[in-house]
Amino acid sequence: MEGILGQKLGMTQIYSAAGAVIPVTVIKAGPCLVVQRKTVATDGYEAVQIGLVEDRPAKVNQPAGGHFKKAGVAPVRRLVEIELSAGEDANPGDEVKASIFAEADYVDVIGMSKGKGFQGVMKRHNFAGGRGSHGSMFHRAPGSIGSSAYPSRVFAGMRGTGRMGGERVTVKNLQVVKVDAENHLIYVRGAVPGPKSGYLTICRAKRG
């Protein structure tokens, strides 16, 4: 199995054998259940659909309930597709745990970034802004966004104010520092996107 679903618990730090401090993100990875097996013959590609098992029971509508009933598993709140490596096989009802990863493995973590709402160019795009003294009236404004004579319009893609965050973000090549398979915990070096309790997809790094 190439990946697993989890939830972000927060950040802490642990010490290496040499005494170095390592900042880590603690992720509750799984347990997950295989809900659907996709094959080249039926879907055109090889993958599995897995769902994260949570303490709270999930409420689903009738079509989704039929999907879970066909797989013979309890309804779950979050589903994601994971690639299957060559020669691997999985069937509906199979369990996926954090033990698929080991220490020193490299993973890609996918999640939704924190939503920041409507923001200006200094926060959204790291603009420097104008001077803050000597009678300056230009502090946090974006400045000129195009000429008036030609082309008399604003080019598409011009950086400006707008909604910030709330986007799908992938952080690549994070090292797995520790795996606690008994408690379904993975300790990943560094930060990952999203708030606490946010859903994450942890996949084996493609270019680790």
- Residue-wise pLDDT tens digits, 55-71: 887 888 888 888 888 88
Both 188 and 175 in a single domain?
yes
Both 30 and 103 in a single domain?
yes
3-class state of residue 123 by DSSP: helix
Q: Which residues pair with 200 in a beta bridge?
A: 6, 111
- Domain holding 179: CATH number? 2.40.30.10
40 and 60 in contact (C-beta within 8 Å)? no
Domain membership of residue 41 as a residue range: 3-113+170-204
Mean pLDDT value across the chain: 89
Please choose, from the candidates 173, 165, 174, the residue with its C-alpha nearest in 3D space to the C-alpha of residue 195.
165
The yes-or-no verdict on residue 1 having pLDDT over 80 is: no
Work out the pLDDT band at 185, boundaries 50, 70, 90: very high
Both 91 and 139 in a single domain?
no
Both 153 and 54 in a single domain?
no
The yes-or-no verdict on residue 107 having pLDDT over 90 is: yes
**Parallel/antiparallel/unpaired status of strands 95-96 and 79-83:** unpaired
Both 73 and 157 in a single domain?
no
Calpha distance 113→22 (Å, rounded): 23
Both 89 and 105 in a single domain?
yes
| pLDDT of res. 201 | 93
Nearest 5°: the CA angle 199, 200, 201 is: 135
Both 98 and 186 in a single domain?
yes
Both 9 and 104 in a single domain?
yes
Both 103 and 28 in a single domain?
yes
Both 154 and 138 in a single domain?
yes
Using a cut of 0.75, tell me whether the model's pTM lies above it: yes
Calpha distance 198→171 (Å, rounded): 15
Both 107 and 126 in a single domain?
no
| pLDDT of res. 86 | 65
| pLDDT of res. 165 | 93
| pLDDT of res. 163 | 95
pLDDT in tens, 117-154: 999 999 999 999 999 899 998 999 998 898 888 888 99
> How many domains are contained in the chain?
2
- Single-letter code of the amino acid located at 189: R
pLDDT in tens, 80-93: 888 887 667 788 88
Calpha distance 99→105 (Å, rounded): 12
Please choose, from the candidates 15, 24, 30, 133, the residue with its C-alpha nearest in 3D space to the C-alpha of residue 82.
30
Both 177 and 101 in a single domain?
yes
pLDDT in tens, 17-70: 888 999 999 999 878 888 888 888 888 888 888 888 888 878 888 888 888 888
Calpha distance 208→100 (Å, rounded): 16
